[in-house]
């Protein structure tokens, strides 16, 4: 069996028992344990001057190889092109895109440098799986260094419609770089379709739909590669176990005691402008406006730990949310009731799962999201006998699969308030039917299925990515 090499911007922190975080980290770590292999990426450290060196840690069959970044590289590759250009563009926020040619050069330079660090650690038959928007040029850099291994790429965030991608000045270079991989994975069919549209209409390439769920063949920039949608999943049964156990823990008991029989609406996100938090707060306010009976009878808990706090756009959204939650609470709060509990903390997975299980509505309304694992975790954590209702944005990748949710448009504040009211009042039989539909989907397409399908197609494609004569 060939070794698996995972390359991602950040390597999940690993404790003795495996990764601390959920979803991707757990799914990928399991695969690494099975085949043996390596996880390579940035350590998260920003160094002032000394040239970084690779830190290699062995844990049984899995090697973790991490490396720091010097300040300039961090600024250009991570804060700059990845998070000030690609992140807003790929989340359809053309208004927030910042572009600096030097940052793009830094982005390419860091990709090339990381690739050079990896090359000496590679073996001939390793299969290499690269993750996410920070590393789009990685295959091109490895190819330039003579690497012939199978190379796959999975994009965790949306792939934007061509008209939006065109706002990123080096859009063509990016898509050409993507075409150096052998297999491209997207979260959803609309993302795959957007990529194919770019290839055909902007790059003069061709696409051939694969027969019977096989990946699409893409001919572009003198190469043939394959592309497919692989929606990432969770382990629903494990989350259900965690949730059940967690309800006996102190945080869940405290929450229950402080609710005093009120209904609970729960949201958990990284604090990011793509997550639609301002619209979400306003829709909750609209609910309290329109249905006075809910005042003092429902609490909304928003957990949102800040991320990328050294970037303006993130400082901005944080200020707006503080102001909105303060305004709404000031307007409706009573001596014994705070309508919105807005919390900036990380919680253990078990605590989150238990809070999901205790809540009546899971309120997941991003403006754009590649998938959104919180939506899947929310459904997984429910009590099958008395499940809560998921209110889900149509712009989360998860909405393609979780059709048992109340699907909303996060721009439509009235529509979201209506969905909250519908969710809070939904009869048990309907809640159970919707839950059964969604949990079956989550079991069928769990995170192992996601990973195995991707790796099967990456390995199966041996030979498809032969070089074609340049156009």
Judged by the rule CB under 6 A, the positions of this chain that interact with ligand ADQ are 22-24, 156-157, 232, 268, 270, 303, 305, 345-347, 352, 369-374, 377
**Full DSSP string of 287-308:** HHHH-GGGTTTEEEEEE--B-S
464 in helix, strand or coil? coil
Which tokens hold the place of 56? Answer: 């290699």
Q: Which is nearer to ligand ADQ, 113 or 347 (CB)?
A: 347
- Return the bridge partners of 271, or none: 306
Residues 7, 42: Cα–Cα separation, whole Å: 9
Residue keyed to tokens 């009211």: 421
Closest to ligand ADQ by CB, 114 vs 232, is: 232
Is the CB of 67 or the CB of 373 nearer to ligand ADQ? Answer: 373
Q: Closest distance between ligand ADQ and the C-beta of residue 371, in Å? A: 3
The least CB distance from residue 61 to ligand ADQ, in Å, is: 24
Catalytic residues: 156, 369
Residue 296 tokens read as 């003092």
For 49-114, the DSSP string reads SSPP--EEEEETTEEEEEEEEEHHHIIIIIIIIIIIIIHHHHTT-GGG----HHHHHHHHHHHHHH
User: Alpha-carbon dihedral of residues 230, 233, 235, 240, nearest 10 degrees?
Assistant: -150
CB-nearer residue toward ligand ADQ: 90 or 294: 90
Q: How far is the CB of 93 from ligand ADQ (least distance, A)?
A: 13
Q: Which is nearer to ligand ADQ, 156 or 434 (CB)?
A: 156
Output the smallest distance, CB 248 to ligand ADQ, in A.
19
Q: Are strands 263-268 and 298-303 parallel, antiparallel or unpaired?
A: parallel
Contact 38, 65 (CB under 8 A): yes
Interatomic CA distance for residues 452 and 27, integer angstroms: 10
* Alpha-carbon gap, residue 189 to 350, rounded angstroms: 32
Identify whether the C-beta of residue 179 lies closer than 8 Å to the C-beta of residue 140.
no
Q: Indicate the residue among 172 and 270 with the shorter CB distance to ligand ADQ.
A: 270
We find the least distance from the C-beta atom of residue 356 to ligand ADQ, in angstroms, to be 9
Residue 144 CB, shortest distance to ligand ADQ, in Å, is: 28
C-alpha distances in angstroms, 220 versus 138, 287, 463?
18, 50, 16
Helix (H, G, I), strand (E, B) or coil at 91: coil
């Amino acid at each position: 069996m060939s070794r698996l090499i995972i390359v991602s911007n950040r390597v999940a922190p690993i404790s003795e028992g495996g990764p601390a975080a959920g979803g991707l980290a757990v799914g990928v770590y399991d695969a690494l344990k099975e085949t043996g292999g390596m996880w390579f990426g940035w350590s998260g450290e920003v160094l002032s001057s000394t040239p970084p060196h690779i830190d290699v840690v062995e844990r049984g069959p899995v090697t973790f190889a991490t490396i720091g970044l010097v300040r300039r590289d961090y600024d250009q590759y991570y804060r700059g092109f990845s998070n000030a250009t690609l992140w807003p563009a790929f989340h359809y926020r053309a208004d927030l895109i910042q572009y600096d040619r030097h940052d793009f050069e830094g982005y390419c330079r860091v990709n090339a440098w990381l690739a050079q660090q990896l090359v000496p650690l590679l073996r001939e038959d390793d299969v290499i799986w690269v993750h996410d928007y920070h590393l789009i040029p990685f295959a091109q850099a490895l190819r330039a260094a003579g690497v012939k291994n199978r190379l796959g790429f999975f994009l965790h965030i949306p792939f934007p419609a061509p008209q939006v991608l065109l706002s990123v000045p080096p859009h063509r270079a990016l898509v050409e770089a993507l075409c150096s991989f052998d297999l491209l994975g997207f979260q959803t069919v609309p993302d795959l379709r957007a990529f194919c549209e770019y290839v055909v209409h902007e790059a003069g390439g061709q696409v051939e739909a694969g027969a019977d769920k096989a990946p699409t063949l893409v001919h572009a920039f003198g190469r043939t590669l394959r592309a497919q949608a692989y929606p990432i999943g969770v382990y629903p049964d494990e989350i259900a176990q965690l949730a059940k156990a967690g309800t006996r823990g102190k945080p869940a008991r405290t929450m229950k005691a402080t609710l005093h029989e009120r209904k609970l609406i729960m949201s958990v996100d990284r604090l990011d402008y793509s997550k639609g938090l301002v619209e979400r707060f306003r829709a909750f306010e609209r609910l309290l406006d329109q249905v006075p009976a809910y005042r003092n009878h429902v609490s909304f808990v928003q957990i949102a730990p800040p991320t990328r706090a050294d970037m303006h756009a993130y400082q901005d959204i944080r200020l707006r949310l503080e102001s909105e939650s303060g305004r709404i609470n000031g307007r409706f709060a009573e001596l014994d009731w705070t309508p919105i509990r807005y919390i900036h903390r990380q919680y253990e997975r078990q605590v989150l799962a238990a809070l999901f299980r205790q809540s009546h509505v899971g309120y997941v309304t991003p403006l754009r999201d590649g998938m959104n694992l919180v939506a899947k975790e929310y459904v997984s954590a429910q009590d099958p006998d008395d499940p809560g209702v998921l209110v889900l944005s149509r712009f989360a990748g998860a909405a393609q699969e979780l059709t048992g949710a109340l699907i909303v448009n996060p721009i439509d504040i009235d529509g979201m308030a209506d969905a909250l009211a519908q969710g809070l009042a939904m009869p048990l039989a309907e809640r159970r039917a919707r839950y059964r539909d969604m949990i079956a989907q989550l079991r069928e397409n769990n995170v192992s299925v996601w990973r195995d399908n991707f790796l099967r197609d990456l390995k199966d494609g041996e030979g498809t990515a032969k070089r074609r004569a340049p156009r």
